[in-house]
């Protein structure tokens, strides 16, 4: 008796197959959104808008639907798009081609080169909107990742695969601190995403803060503030996809994103443009839904790691504003930069008392933890009585902890400060921490 062939799989494929290529037409352009009639597409699919007078079509992504029409948002400029323009779905989502030869290069939010040289044709295709690692496949964080910055390594120790936020107002030294870590950290590869930055600051960061030695082991992704909101969002996801490639190759990757706040502002533009209601201080719900999809992709997986450093531009120095609060709840620690310390020429302006690394107790020795705790305790005692000390009203002997803080204050301040050019190994940092209390 002959076995019956199961052809149900092929039947399903034939039913899903559409032999007719459907073309659409632009019917309206409303703000950032282009309304298209006549195409059958899905969220995240890339379409090509053909405009008169242009050889190359404008790429756009489907971001929503309304009344049997697709809402698409261009990944380039809106100029030239008019009612009647042809729209062709490509049946693909955005990807990036990644290889080792991408190191030392500067690309835009879609992976196109900005440094004047063509990208290598070889490499693997990675989806921009990839899924986070399976929670049960994430290795626990047990190894220290050296940053070369004493205040971070000594008091806010980071582990390989940890995600840390750098919270600060504008002009307090976020980019400078990122540049120091990029040059001196023990990571194999840096992936640096400059999202929503001023165009003037990009070359300045690459040449001054990152430097030639830092650029050699880095991939820089740039989506400046003048570019479309969707391109800024894709820049953040593209940088994460590039970091995932190097992690999958077994490398320890440092993913730096400056800034996550501008990423959220870009998503706010997109959300409001497609009709989402503003809820929390003008941010639509999609902003807070998208944050974990981006941030959870960093971490350990397989045999490599992505250590994430995300800067948060704190609005009016308010650490409890919506984006800061949401990001702090997702990440594994936060480093707060203080405007008051920066005004005193204290760099890096890290407020160690308001900063925390949630994984530090698990990756440091008991002695290291004791010394770091002692330093913080003495610094807190000094801060509490600082006004009395400054006006000469504090009487020695009134408080033993303040007396001890006064004894070690100069050594503590020397430990917490570091010039941009200086770098310290983890062992040198531990030795300097021990030296304070000798």
pLDDT surpasses 90 at 388: no
- Mean pLDDT for 295-299 is 92
Same domain, 432 and 330: no
DSSP string, 197-238: --HHHHHHIIIIIIHHHHHHTEEEEEE-TTS-HHHHHHHHHH
The per-residue pLDDT for range 311-320, each reduced to its tens digit, is 998 876 677 7
In a domain, 88, yes or no: yes
Phi, psi (rounded to 5 degrees) for 303: -120, 10
Q: How many CA atoms lie within 13 A of 33 on its CB side?
A: 19
Overall number of domains in the chain: 3
The string of pLDDT tens digits covering residues 60-72 is 999 989 888 999 9
CB-based contacts of 72: which residues, under 8 Å, 6+ apart? 33, 34, 36, 47, 49, 60, 61, 62, 63, 87
Where does the pLDDT of residue 126 fall: very low under 50, low under 70, confident under 90, or very high at 90 and above? very high
Kindly state whether residue 168 falls inside one of the protein's structural domains: yes
CB atoms within 10 A of CB 267: 25
Name the residue among 254, 264, 356 with its Cα closest to residue 308: 254
Q: Flag whether pLDDT at 200 surpasses 80.
A: yes
> What is the dihedral sign for C-alpha 323, 329, 335, 339?
positive
| Residue finishing a domain among 363, 398, 427 | 363
Structural domain span for residue 48: 22-93
Instruction: Please give the pLDDT value at position 34.
Output: 93
Residue 1: the pLDDT is 45
Residue 219 has pLDDT above 90, yes or no: yes
- Residue range 159-186: mean pLDDT, rounded: 88
Q: Tell which of 37, 70, 93 closes a domain.
A: 93
- Asked whether residue 290 falls in the same domain as residue 381, the answer is no
Where do runs of H (alpha helix) occur along 76-198?
Answer: 150-155, 174-184
Phi-psi region of 251 (alpha: psi -120 to 50; beta: other; left: phi over 0): beta
Find the mean pLDDT for residues 297-322.
86
Give CA separation, 409 vs 309, 349, 419, 431, in Å: 30, 16, 19, 17
Residues 357, 374, single domain; the answer is no
Section 263-274 average pLDDT: 91
| Whole-number Cα distances in Å, 362 to 90, 144, 218, 365, 375 | 48, 10, 29, 8, 19
pTM: 0.88
Select from 347, 363, 379 the last residue of a domain: 363
* Mean pLDDT taken over the chain: 89
Mean pLDDT along residues 195-204: 86
Q: Distance between CA 126 and CA 166 in Å, rounded?
A: 28
Across residues 329-343, what is the average pLDDT? 92
Report how far residue 269's alpha carbon sits from residue 43's, in angstroms, rounded to the nearest whole number: 17
- Whether 14 has a pLDDT exceeding 80, the answer reads no
Alpha-carbon gap, residue 204 to 217, rounded angstroms:
18
pLDDT tens digits along 344-357: 999 999 999 999 99
> Does 162 lie in the same domain as 301?
yes
Is 400's pLDDT higher than 80?
yes
Q: pLDDT tens digit string along 412-426?
A: 999 999 998 899 999
């Amino acid at each position: 008796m002959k076995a019956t062939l199961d052809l149900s799989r092929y039947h399903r494929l034939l039913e899903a197959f559409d032999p007719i290529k459907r073309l659409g037409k632009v019917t309206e352009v409303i703000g950032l959104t282009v309304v298209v009639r006549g195409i059958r597409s899905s969220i995240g699919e890339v379409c090509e808008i053909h405009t008169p007078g242009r050889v190359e079509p404008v790429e756009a992504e489907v971001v929503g639907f309304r009344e049997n029409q697709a809402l698409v948002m261009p990944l380039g400029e809106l100029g030239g798009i008019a009612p009647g323009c042809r729209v062709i779905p490509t049946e693909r989502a955005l990807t990036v081609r990644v290889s080792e030869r991408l190191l030392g290069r500067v690309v835009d939010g879609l992976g196109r080169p900005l440094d004047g040289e063509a990208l290598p044709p070889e490499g693997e295709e990675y989806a921009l909107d990839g899924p986070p690692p399976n929670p049960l496949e994430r290795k626990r964080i047990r190894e220290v990742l050296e940053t070369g910055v004493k205040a971070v390594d000594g008091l806010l120790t980071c582990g390989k695969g940890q995600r840390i936020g750098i919270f600060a107002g504008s002009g307090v030294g976020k980019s400078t601190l990122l540049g120091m870590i990029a040059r001196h950290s023990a990571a194999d590869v840096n992936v640096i995403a400059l999202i929503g930055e001023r165009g003037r600051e990009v070359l300045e960061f690459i040449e001054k803060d990152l430097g030639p030695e830092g650029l050699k082991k880095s991939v820089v992704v740039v989506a400046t503030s003048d570019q479309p909101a969707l391109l800024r969002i894709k820049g953040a996801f593209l940088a994460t996809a590039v970091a995932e490639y190097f992690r999958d190759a077994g490398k320890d990757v440092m993913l730096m994103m400056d800034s996550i706040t501008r990423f959220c502002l870009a998503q706010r533009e997109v959300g409001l443009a497609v009709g989402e209601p503003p809820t929390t201080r003008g941010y639509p719900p999609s902003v807070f839904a998208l944050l974990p999809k981006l941030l959870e992709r960093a971490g350990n997986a397989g045999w490599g790691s992505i250590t994430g450093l995300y800067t948060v531009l704190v609005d009016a120095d308010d650490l409890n504003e919506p984006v800061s609060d949401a990001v702090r709840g997702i990440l594994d620690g936060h480093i707060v930069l203080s405007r008051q310390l920066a005004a005193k020429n204290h760099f890096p302006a890290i407020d160690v008392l308001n900063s925390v690394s949630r994984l530090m107790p698990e990756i440091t020795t008991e002695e290291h933890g004791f010394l770091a705790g002692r330093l913080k305790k003495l610094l807190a005692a000094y801060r509490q009585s600082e006004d009395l000390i400054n006006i000469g009203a504090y009487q020695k002997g009134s408080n033993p902890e303040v007396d001890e803080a006064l004894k070690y204050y100069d050594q503590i301040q020397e430990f917490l400060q570091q010039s941009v050019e200086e770098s310290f190994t983890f062992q040198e940092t531990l030795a300097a921490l021990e030296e304070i209390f000798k």
